Structure 1
Amino acid sequence: MQGLHLTADLYHCACESALMTDADTLARLCRRHTLEAGLTLVDEKWHTFPDFQGQPGGVTGMLLLAESHLAVHTWPERNGVTLDVYVCNFQEDNSRKAEALMKAIVEAFRPSDMQRQHLNRGDVDGPADAGELVLEDVAGQAYFGFRFERRILNRQTAYQRLELLESATLGRTLRLDGRYMTSEAEEFFYHEALVHPAATAHPAPRNALIIGGGDGGALEELLKHRGIERVTLVDLDGEVIDAARRYLEKIHRGALDDPRATVLVEDGVAFLARTSDRYDLILLDLTDPDTPAGPLYTPGFFRRCKHALAPGGALVLHMGSPFHQPEQVRELCGTLRGQFAHVRPYGVHIPLYGTYWGLAVASDALDPDTVPGETIHARLEERRIGDLEYYNARVHGALFALPNFYRRLTAN
């Protein structure tokens, strides 16, 4: 049973069309790369589906290997492919062969985007740990994961794959499009770091906007500030909000139904284009730039955010991992500096994300790194904010004390 299971979901493939629609062409390619990888072909089965509504049908097929199998499914109408390679490692380690086979087939399809999973299967003496091991990669460079005893939800919304899992360690955990978003046990690392540095540095925030954040965690942190009169939360995917209301009360703590909160299911770009309100704080609590949230990381959108800020207001967003995604972080800082007078990067380790994570406050007036710790402490006291697990006056300054590599990465 011991083995390695590799999967890949390929998007926007630029290969020759026959690979997507002709079983013989795809079978020849898979046989060749399987043998070149040193694996042993036992049998095979391939099928081309008929055309449907003017679109060519895809191909599904499998090679049975002495070591286990290769499975391929194509969706020519989406230029998408799913791949599945499993090899047994009981008598010898076939992992390198499996990796070589996967690499060769992926390169043949020439995807512009890809999601991969790497799973070790079948301990010799039975499962060493209970539950499902759910792995994630950081920018395709590093893998990390957690075990979950239960899946509560696993469905495709109109915009993304929504998963809700549960474990004794993390509690209920939200994933979107195969990426960890938040969990009951450690959500405070991200939500407190996203909200409180800018909100506490601001002398009197009253009106705030959150774009994204359908789990309600950032909203709950904002509403801790006495003086906040209104928060508008705009999330594209209503199913995320519905799932949070039903299952993630320990994260939002009822904030989604607080009378000071207005929760809208709407595109953030469209909302900013029509609103005439001005906000003391705008928080972009989004999925990553390579997801449907991509248009909200652009110069045009940042310009709209700046226009919607009240005097002295600030924009806050997360940027990704400075170590694993340096170009993304550098480009986002540069884009923000093209719009705002002050851009202050900061960072925090987030257990669920498996790495040190970059965030930034952008403003024409507010620089949270220049606010003394004594002032931060006094404001936390005045606003009676005591229910915090991570953030405090000393941590405030530490968040902006950047490691040298991150300072160089985000230097002017």
Structure 2
Amino acid sequence: MQGLHLTADLYDCAGDAALLTDADRLAERCRALTLASGLTLVDEKWHRFPDWNGQPGGVTGMILLAESHLAIHTWPERGGVTLDVYVCNFTADNSHKAIALMQGLEDAFAPRRVQRERLLRGQADGPTATGELILEHLTPQAAYGFRFPERILSQRTRYQHLELLRSNELGLTLRLDGQYMTSEADEFFYHEAMAHPAAITHEAPRRALIIGGGDGGLAEELLKHPTIERIVLAELDDEVVAVARRHLGSIHRGALDDPRVQVHVGDGAAFVAQTAERFDLVFLDLTDPETPAGPLYTEAFFRQVQQVLAPGGAVVLHLGAPFFEKDQVRELSARLARVFPCLRAYGLYVPLYGAYWALAVASDTLDPKGLDAATVEQRLRARGIANLQYYNAEIHGALFALPNFYRALLP
């Protein structure tokens, strides 16, 4: 079972058009390329689909190899082909033969665009890693991922696809619509860095609004500040809160049921538009701008948030990954700067997000960058905030010390 698995998706094929519709001609070409690559043909099966809506039918075929297989499917109406070549390397390394076969097939179809994938299958002495490898893309060309031996939940809520996974490294991990949200092992990176820089800068934060944040991790960090009297957590999806209550107690530590926390299930933008309440701190703990949360990243919404801030208040949000999402970070920071006189961007590496991550505190007057380490230390002690895993007095200043490539994106 040890071997190399290659796939290719071909688009806008400009080669011999008959290869997309003529099963005999396609089979002949595949046989010739298979033998030319040095692979051993054992058997084969080909099927041409009937014409449909005036369009010629495509062809599906497979060649069984002594080394494994070649599978091919054509879509003539789209000029598309999918290819799948797998070879076993148990007794000899056949990788170069698989690569030669795949290249020959691509040359025959002459696609204008190609998407290729390469997977090493099996290990000589059994698996070195267990579980499902789940990738998340930072860009169409860059991805990262983790293996999860156990899938606890996979369900469709009214708003999104919710997954709960478990691994030894990350513990329970929440995903929404294919994006990593939080994990038991690393949640402190994001939640402490989002909560404490603005909260410790404010002399006595009493009321906070969290839009999103249904896992409760951010609320749990804010409750460490003894002046906090009230937190409104406006979460659109009640099933996120329900799953957090059942499974993610190690992240929220009871914050979702703390009497100081009001869980408001509904549209966060509607809550901001309708409330007469004023908040010392507002946190936009949202999914990314390309998701349905997109309207909450607009300049118009930032102006609405500004209206619900008490004097000296601030809004905190994440901007994305400044290396991989330059345009997004540049645009979001520019929108914030058009609304708030004081914009302080900061950043940290978040393991679950696979990159150095950008956040910002925006305010009319609150300036966390102006707070020195001695004052941060004094306030942490006065408020009895201890046992943090990421944030401390020295880290406070370091968060706002930005690399030049990140600075260049800011207004």
Shorter-chain TM range is 0.7 to 0.9
Question: In the alignment, which residue of structure 1 is the partner of 2:356?
Answer: 356
Superposed, which structure 2 residues align to 1:2-401 within 5 Å?
2-4=3-5, 43=45, 64=62, 67-69=69-71, 86-90=84-88, 91-92=94-95, 94=98, 97=102, 120-401=120-401
Partner Cα separation in structure 1 for residue 231 and residue 379 of structure 2:
20
Question: In the alignment, which residue of structure 2 is the partner of 1:11?
Answer: none
Amino acid at match of 1:307: Q
Amino acid at match of 1:149: P
1:276 aligns to what SS in structure 2? Answer: coil
Amino acid at match of 1:297: Y
Distance 1:356 1:89, change over 3 A: farther
Partner Cα separation in structure 2 for residue 343 and residue 130 of structure 1:
45
Q: Contact 1:5 / 1:84 at 8 angstroms: preserved in 2?
A: no
- Shift, 1:328, TM fit: 0.7
Partner Cα separation in structure 1 for residue 250 and residue 162 of structure 2:
18
Distance 1:126 1:358, change over 3 A: same
The RMSD of aligned alpha carbons is 3.7
Q: Contact 2:22 / 2:48 at 8 angstroms: preserved in 1?
A: no
Distance 1:88 1:268, change over 3 A: same
Amino acid at match of 2:373: G
Question: In the alignment, which residue of structure 1 is the partner of 2:15?
Answer: none
Amino acid at match of 2:239: E
Question: In the alignment, which residue of structure 2 is the partner of 1:111?
Answer: none
Distance 1:362 1:243, change over 3 A: same
Distance 1:129 1:273, change over 3 A: same
- Shift, 1:122, TM fit: 2.9
Partner Cα separation in structure 2 for residue 229 and residue 268 of structure 1:
20
Q: Contact 2:22 / 2:59 at 8 angstroms: preserved in 1?
A: no
Amino acid at match of 1:248: L
Amino acid at match of 1:390: Y
Partner Cα separation in structure 2 for residue 95 and residue 407 of structure 1:
44
1:130 aligns to what SS in structure 2? Answer: coil
Partner Cα separation in structure 1 for residue 7 and residue 295 of structure 2:
31
Amino acid at match of 1:246: R
Show CA shifts across 1:30-78 (max 9, x none). Answer: 999xx89x98795566889x9xxxxxxxx999654654446799xxxxx
TM-score by length of 1: 0.79
Of all paired residues, the percent bearing the same amino acid is: 52
Question: In the alignment, which residue of structure 2 is the partner of 1:54?
Answer: none
Structure 1 gap ranges (5+) = 9-14, 17-24, 51-58, 74-82, 109-113
1:136 aligns to what SS in structure 2? Answer: strand
Partner Cα separation in structure 1 for residue 111 and residue 284 of structure 2:
37
Amino acid at match of 2:298: T
Bigger Cα displacement from structure 2, 357-366 vs 290-299? 290-299
- Shift, 1:6, TM fit: 6.3
Partner Cα separation in structure 2 for residue 396 and residue 197 of structure 1:
6
Structure 2 gap ranges (5+) = 13-17, 35-40, 76-80, 89-93
1:345 aligns to what SS in structure 2? Answer: strand
Partner Cα separation in structure 2 for residue 294 and residue 329 of structure 1:
14
Partner Cα separation in structure 2 for residue 378 and residue 123 of structure 1:
55
Distance 1:28 1:348, change over 3 A: farther
Structure showing greater Rg: 2
Bigger Cα displacement from structure 2, 203-212 vs 372-381? 372-381
Show CA shifts across 1:385-411 (max 9, x none). Answer: 11310001110000000011111121x
2:204 aligns to what SS in structure 1? Answer: coil
- Shift, 1:221, TM fit: 0.5
Partner Cα separation in structure 2 for residue 304 and residue 251 of structure 1:
30
Amino acid at match of 2:293: A
Q: Contact 2:171 / 2:185 at 8 angstroms: preserved in 1?
A: yes
1:214 aligns to what SS in structure 2? Answer: coil
Partner Cα separation in structure 2 for residue 382 and residue 390 of structure 1:
19
Partner Cα separation in structure 1 for residue 244 and residue 60 of structure 2:
39
Partner Cα separation in structure 1 for residue 70 and residue 258 of structure 2:
54
Partner Cα separation in structure 1 for residue 112 and residue 223 of structure 2:
47
Q: Contact 2:21 / 2:48 at 8 angstroms: preserved in 1?
A: no
- Shift, 1:382, TM fit: 1.2
Partner Cα separation in structure 1 for residue 22 and residue 177 of structure 2:
29
Number of residues of Structure 1 aligned to a counterpart in Structure 2: 370
1:409 aligns to what SS in structure 2? Answer: coil
Distance 1:47 1:316, change over 3 A: farther
Partner Cα separation in structure 2 for residue 256 and residue 296 of structure 1:
23
